[in-house]
Structures are given as C-alpha cells and as structure tokens.
Structure 1
C-alpha cells in the first residue's frame, strides 16, 4: 500500500485540497496516514508533523515574497504574543500525545477532526472582524489562544494555520493576507518545539524508518498545493467548504473506530514500546 505512485498521488490530493482553501492540508493527510497507509496513531502524527514542516518551509519564501518584511516587521509583537503561548503548548501537546494510550489518542484525534471541520466552515463562511480588546486583555488572550493552538498542532501534527489565521484577524485586526504570513512565522518554531519533544520518545524512530515514504508524500503535497493554488476559486466555497467538512467528519468517524479493541488487534502497531 506504500507504492511510490499511490504515495505521491495521495500527497498531491491532500495538497490540492489544502491549496484550494489556502492551507497546507495536513488535517486531511492525517486520516490517510492512519486509514490508507496503516500507521498507528502516534506514528501518523509524527509523520504528519514532519511533512507539515516541509510544506511550511516551502511556503514561507513564497509568502515572504508576497508580503514584505516591513509589513511583517510592523506586526512582530503579534508573533511574539502568540509564540509565548504556542511554544509551551506544543511541548505540552506532544508530551500528552506520547503518554496517551493508543485508543485514547485515536479518540482525541477524531474529536479534533470534528473541531477542525467546524473551524473550517466558520472561518470560510463568515467574515471575521476584530474583537477590539484592550492591549492587556489582548495580550493574555493571545497567550491562551497560542497555547491551545500549540497543543492542537502538536497532537494532530499540523501547522495550525486554520486556527492561527482567524485568531490573528480576530485578536489583532490584521488583514487576512498578512495574517497568513504571520501564521507561518508562528507555526515554524511551534512545530520545531513539538519535534524536539517527540524526538525524546521511542516513537520518533518511525520517521527514520520511513524517510523515503515521507519524502514522496511531502513532494506530492507540495505539487498538489501548487496546483490547488491555481484552482483557487474554481469551485465555489459554498460547494467546496461543506464538502471538505464532510471529508473530515467521515475521517473522524473512521479514526474513532480504530480505538475499538477489535480494530487495534487487527492492525500492526507502528508505536514503539513504552519505556
């Protein structure tokens, strides 16, 4: 099931879906890693995080070309505020993920997929406006929001842009284009912190054992994201967004089923033994 054509095609499909809505698509890649390629929950999260990191590193230069350094520099306090919460959140999320029982992690991932589906619908069908909070309250809210986003990003192995972008718009009244670039600047160190925590656990060996697979799937994701960007607007959001939300909901249901004892005994575990 991990042939080169299938792996690249799946990565490209994920990239296209993400590209059409201006995101990396990691939330769609995670169910494929579990359901199609047969990775256990924690192994799938770590591999998804690795590919999300590659996609962000690829997208960052393009975003910096579209949004000048001076524009980003004017909002450096936004990134610092969110990082104050997202960095410890990423460490905490990764710590919780490696300590969870496999069945519990499947359930958590399923719940987060449902939450992502709801966030996807809300952020693409409504026009977010700034909350107009005072500076002290906004600073506290930024740390709290950053912590929550860091936790979710670490547990799912995603960059977190689908949560960071609306948060930046709502809390800091930044335009959507600049918010997209700021989200990448926050995502990158946040993912590196989660990686550092995962690297301390025996489950991180799944990455070293699947470097070729990871590279092919990431290459497909990047190629698909470029194509998806070209297709941006071809499918109306009223059709595209509900369709993607349904995909996430179906994926959540299938992921939750992996938590049953019968499903777990029939699958080969990709998780290293607990120490």
Structure 2
C-alpha cells in the first residue's frame, strides 16, 4: 500500500472516530482533531489550524442542514436576536485572532493553543458534572446588560474558534443557555448558525497566509477526513443513549487534557532547542 493510501486511510478512520465521539456528545470534535493533525499527520501548527478550520466549516454546514429537520427554520428565526448578538462579537474576534495567528511565532501559537485546549477540557468536564438541562431564565434581565455580555462572550468565542479551527459549540451552547435562558436543544442549532459565519470570517482571513496552501497539498487527506467525519457523526448520533454522556464527556475531557500536555512538552522542547 502506498504512503498516500496509508495516509488517506488514517484520515478516514481518525475522521470517523472523532466524528462518532462528536456525534455522541453533540459536538463537532474539532478540538480532538487538532492534536491528531499535529501529532499523527505532522502538520505545522498554523497549517493544522487552517486545515481544521476548513474541516469544521464543512462538517458544521452539513450538521446545520440535518438540524433543520428536528428544529424548524421558523423556530430558529424567532431567536435571531440571540444569533445577531453573539455574532456581533464573534465575527470581530475571529477576524482579529486569525490575523494575530498569522504573525505570531509558532512557539507562541503552540503555547496559546495549549492553554485553550486545557480550558476546553475543563469546560467539558464542568459540563459533564454540572449539566445545563435544568437552566431556566437568562443570567440578566433582557436589556443592555445581556447585549453587552453577549458581544463580549461572542468575541472570546470567535478568538477560540479562529485559533483552534473549531466551531466553538462547546462554548456557544452553554453561553446561549446560561446567558439567554434558551432550551439546550434549541441552543445546539443556534450555535451552528453562529459558528458558520464566524468560521467563514476566520477562514477568509487565513487565505492571506502561506500556510493556506495546506488545503491544496493535502486535498486528498481532507476529502477522506470529511467523509470519515460525516459517517462517524451519523453513527455517533445513532448511538446516543448507549453510553452515559457524563462518563463519556469526563473521559474525553481527560483525553483532551493529556493531548494538551503532550503538546506543551513538544513546544517546550522546541523552544529550548532554539535558545
């Protein structure tokens, strides 16, 4: 078997596994894909982020189409104010962060990604043990405070989405539920409506980077990983309920933490070697 075929096979399998895990817990799984792109496929950091961003954009677009079957478009349009509120911050955050990432040294980009992965693992662990299903009512009374909080939250979510190449659902869903008091199932669909334009902005910003060429040089790998992700997400969705979500999210939170620590060790060795 050729090297290219082996790589494509790994892309299909890893995409399917990550997609299935994402389908089981209701997330895209891009936070797990990034360490795989860097570790298994040996992509440089910025190239891995851009590749992950393109993957997330494709998967979220597909997911949004399927979600419209469970929640009507009219219902989503009825909460357009939440979408626009968070987008006002996330679009700016994604544009700014992508621009900074292109100018940043790879060592510092690795360090920031490490911190963000650790924070996401802690968010995942907290969501596992502090479920949001019973949340009712927004954090503030509807008004200026909620709008300002939404813009600020959106900005930081946009930053995370741009720097990791993720959709940001693990941050958007709890934000929508806690800040606006939305139902968690509705929040899942609203998060996709926010993620898609946010990722498009970050993706467009990255087109100015030399690292954007990774999508041409690894076109075949990209296609196979997308196929695997879609298949895996479908399988994961069908398996919902077979594995306790709390146990699964706890395990995945720990796995993400370990991946982040391994990235930190690699970064530290690289920075030490350049001194």
TM-score > 0.5, shorter chain as reference: yes
How many pairs align?
266
Residue in structure 1 matched with residue 266 of structure 2 by the alignment: 258
Q: Distance in 1 between matches of 2:64 and 2:90?
A: 19
Where in structure 1 are there 5+ consecutive unaligned residues? 267-275
Q: CA deviation at 1:264?
A: 9.3
Residue in structure 1 matched with residue 230 of structure 2 by the alignment: 222
What SS is found at the alignment partner of 1:65? coil
Alignment of 1:162 with 2:166, yes or no, is: no
The answer to whether the 8 Å contact 1:106/1:258 transfers is no
- Residue by residue over 1:88-134, the C-alpha shift from the partner in whole angstroms, topping out at 9 and shown as x without a partner, is 10001111111111111111111111111111122232133231334
Moved more, 163-172 or 202-211: 202-211
Give the alignment partner of residue 146 of structure 2, picking from 124, 132, 138: 138
Residue in structure 2 matched with residue 55 of structure 1 by the alignment: 59
The answer to whether the 8 Å contact 2:107/2:271 transfers is no
Residue in structure 2 matched with residue 106 of structure 1 by the alignment: 110
Give the alignment partner of residue 45 of structure 1, picking from 25, 30, 49: 49
Residue in structure 1 matched with residue 194 of structure 2 by the alignment: 186
Residue in structure 2 matched with residue 21 of structure 1 by the alignment: 25
CA gap 1:63/1:36 in 2 versus in 1, 3 angstroms: same
Residue in structure 1 matched with residue 214 of structure 2 by the alignment: 206
Alignment of 1:247 with 2:270, yes or no, is: no
Q: Distance in 1 between matches of 2:30 and 2:151?
A: 24
Q: Distance in 2 between matches of 1:138 and 1:205?
A: 41
The answer to whether the 8 Å contact 2:94/2:198 transfers is yes
Aligned counterparts, 1:108-123, within 5 A: 108-123=112-127
CA gap 1:42/1:177 in 2 versus in 1, 3 angstroms: same
- Residue by residue over 1:62-87, the C-alpha shift from the partner in whole angstroms, topping out at 9 and shown as x without a partner, is 11111111111110100000010000
The answer to whether the 8 Å contact 1:258/1:264 transfers is no
Q: CA RMSD in A?
A: 1.7
Q: Distance in 1 between matches of 2:269 and 2:93?
A: 30
What SS is found at the alignment partner of 2:68? helix
Q: CA deviation at 1:265?
A: 7.1
The answer to whether the 8 Å contact 1:4/1:216 transfers is yes
- Residue by residue over 1:197-246, the C-alpha shift from the partner in whole angstroms, topping out at 9 and shown as x without a partner, is 10011111111211111111111111111111111121113321111011
- Give the TM-score, by structure 2 length: 0.93
Deviating 4+ runs (over 6 angstroms): 263-266
The answer to whether the 8 Å contact 1:48/1:157 transfers is yes
Aligned counterparts, 1:61-100, within 5 A: 61-100=65-104
- Residue by residue over 1:32-72, the C-alpha shift from the partner in whole angstroms, topping out at 9 and shown as x without a partner, is 00011100111100000000011001101111111111111
The answer to whether the 8 Å contact 2:20/2:235 transfers is yes
Q: Distance in 2 between matches of 1:252 and 1:261?
A: 14
Residue in structure 2 matched with residue 236 of structure 1 by the alignment: 244
CA gap 1:4/1:180 in 2 versus in 1, 3 angstroms: same
Q: CA deviation at 1:135?
A: 1.1
- Give the TM-score, by structure 1 length: 0.93
